[in-house]
Amino acid sequence: MSEDQKKILEQQLWNIANTLRGKMNADEFRDYILGFIFYKYLSERMDMYANSILKADKIKYKDIKENTKQGKEYIQAIREESLEKLGYFLKPSELFSEVAKRGNSDKEEDESNFILEDLQKILTNIQQSTMGTESEEDFDHLFEDMDLNSTKLGKTPEARNAIIAKVLSHLDKIDFKLEQTELDVLGDAYEYLIAQFASGAGKKAGEFYTPQEVSMVLAKIVTTGKQKLKSVYDPTCGSGSLLLRVAKEVKDVSNFYGQELNRTTYNLARMNMILHGVHYRKFDIKQEDTLEHPQHIDKTFEAIVANPPFSAQWSANPLFTSDDRFSQYGKLAPSSKADFAFVQHMIYHLAENGIMAIVLPHGALFRSGAEQHIRRYLIEDKNYLDAVIGLPANLFYGTPIPTCIMVFKKCRENPEDVLFMNAAEHFERGTQNTLRQEDIDRIIDTYRNRKEVPKYSSLATLEFIAENEYNLNIPRYVNTFEEEEKIDIAAVSKQLKSLEKEMKNTDAELMAFCKELKIDTPF
């Protein structure tokens, strides 16, 4: 698929999404359109897989008569295979294309074009088909945010049915090319829609989406020197886009792990994983508060990425001083700012050969008190800090503040210094600033080669950082001072004399004109 075709598909999907908009805000109609796209994806996967099984019998899945004895035998056999391979099951009559066809029947008096109840039942059936199987947790309440009886879709059942049937009809005409396994057309389109919704969601967007170019920087950092990853983890995974971005930087990721507090966003993350072709056995996304109730406490990970909520509040309960994640530091992050609590949590889960990269507000670099104490321990006692990268302001949805990336390793190749980088002045300005490809490439090249570039990056010794009392404010280490151009006083004096002479000549000419015209001179 060409870039132009991809853009056309993205625009088609966005137009369909706006059909649902009505009185709903961005995050509400997002849940419906992404849910319908996901349902279409599950249906097409189901149909393709069933047809591959039925190929020897020379019949198509949609042609099976569900109520016949033979039809029931076929469906039972396919159900067992599908639950093992795909993790879910849909009957032929439950497929997206069949429901879309019924919903757009031309027979106005035919009750068959009323699909709301059937559709709600089908979405429930997808989840129920997994009960008692390995994939049960991955599909549990996956469609709970799609209330087809919400008055926001229409005041009457008929109005709601009409708008949903219209959306299904439009979606049914789009070919996601799932048979072309080397392409991820639907996955890319899904990511595009998530980004579009994030741009319209204001402050809420920060809960579920990291701008793609920032995701790319984080992903490239944690995959440095690696072609395959045993595991990748995001403790605040949002829609899962950051985890999936890491997978694009290597040939293979064996397992994906994540945790997300918001229930709706948690559902979105699971959908995103499945829709990108990540097998249900390869991902483990949990819904809970990461700091208060960690769900993967017994695991370590080869790559860890995170864009946690900036300076969020947490309990900082004194009981956490005996928690293995925090106990060795001697102090907890302040309850009003959980930034370093996330750092400590991630360090605990980082494998000895792993790399972690976390986005933080700039204040985390220089605030005093407990945070300074934690920085000191990480640098002086553990020597885990590998790099500090300053990013431009206004990159993230919902906040204009400048941010930074802190990179940590337990086994550093360059233990004698820390790389500081000032990438804050290199970006494309807009309503929301963005990093250009050349900006991303420059950050990654500088990080991987630990380059010192005047006014951009420098290597600071641990001794120098200690002298600065573990204040990591980037201007202390990267000199961005622009020397003013030297002024030649003699040349300026000569120029002033020349201008004074010209002014006298001009005044004389003006007086002559005034005298000739018999008018008063202006001086």
Question: How large a percentage of the chain has pLDDT more than 90?
Answer: 68
* Count of other CB atoms within 10 angstroms of residue 406: 25
pLDDT at 465 over 70: yes
Distance CA 304, CA 257 (A): 9
Q: Helix or strand or coil: residue 173?
A: coil
Q: State how far the Cα of 287 lies from the Cα of 260, in Å rounded to an integer.
A: 5
Indicate if the pLDDT at residue 486 is higher than 80.
Answer: no
Q: Are 86 and 131 in contact (CB under 8 A)?
A: no
Over residues 203-216, the mean pLDDT reads: 74
Compute CA distances 390 → 365, 441, 456, 492, whole Å: 10, 15, 10, 40
Express each pLDDT in 265-274 by its tens digit.
999 999 999 9
Q: Got the DSSP string for 174-236?
A: ----TT-TT--HHHHHHHHHHHHHHHHSGGGGGGT---HHHHHHHHHHHTTT-SEEEEEEETT
- Is pLDDT of 197 > 90? no
Residue of higher predicted confidence among 395 and 447:
447
Kindly list the domain boundaries of the chain, sorted by start residue: 3-199, 210-476, 488-523
**Whether residue 318 has pLDDT greater than 60:** yes
pTM above 0.85, yes or no: yes
Architecture of domain 210-476 in this structure: 3-Layer(aba) Sandwich (3.40)
Q: Is residue 111 over pLDDT 60? A: no
Q: For residue 518, is pLDDT > 90?
A: no
CATH superfamily, domain 3-199, is: N6 adenine-specific DNA methyltransferase, N-terminal domain (1.20.1260.30)
Let me know how many helices (H) and strands (E) the chain has, helices first: 17, 9
